[in-house]
Amino acid sequence: MENKPIFDVHSTKSQLPGIAGKLESFLRTFRSLAFFAMLAPIAFFYVLCMGVSLTPGIMLVHSSYEWTAQSILPIKALALGLSGAAAFFMYGLTLIFVVPLCNKLLPLKVKAQRTSWFSLSVIPWYYHNALTYLVRYTFLDFITPTPFNKLFYQMMGMKIGKGSMINSSNISDPCLIEIGDYVTIGGSATLVAHYGMKGILIIDKLVIKNNATIGLNACLFGDVSIGEGVTVKPGEVVLPKTHIPNKERKSAA
Number of domains in the chain: 2
Query: Looking at the structure, do residues 57 and 167 belong to the same domain, yes or no?
Result: no
Query: Looking at the structure, do residues 27 and 107 belong to the same domain, yes or no?
Result: yes
In a domain, 253, yes or no: no
In a domain, 4, yes or no: no
Query: Looking at the structure, do residues 189 and 138 belong to the same domain, yes or no?
Result: no
- Does 7 score more than 70 pLDDT? no
- Does 253 score more than 50 pLDDT? no
Higher pLDDT, 47 or 2: 47
Cut 0.75: pTM above it: yes
Domain residues for 182? 144-248
Query: Looking at the structure, do residues 155 and 130 belong to the same domain, yes or no?
Result: no
Identify whether the C-beta of residue 58 lies closer than 8 Å to the C-beta of residue 80: no
Give CB contacts under 8 A, 24+ apart, made by 216-219: 216/186, 216/187, 216/188, 216/189, 217/186, 217/187, 217/188, 217/189, 217/190, 218/186, 218/189, 218/190, 219/189, 219/190
Residues 86 and 56: their CA atoms lie apart, in Å, by: 10
In a domain, 1, yes or no: no
Query: Looking at the structure, do residues 228 and 154 belong to the same domain, yes or no?
Result: yes
At 66 the pLDDT is 94
In a domain, 10, yes or no: no
In a domain, 174, yes or no: yes
Q: State the chain's mean pLDDT as an integer.
A: 90
At 39 the pLDDT is 80
pLDDT-derived band at 38, boundaries 50, 70, 90: confident
In a domain, 49, yes or no: yes
In a domain, 189, yes or no: yes
What is the mean predicted confidence (pLDDT) over 106-122?
87
In a domain, 224, yes or no: yes
Query: Looking at the structure, do residues 138 and 160 belong to the same domain, yes or no?
Result: no
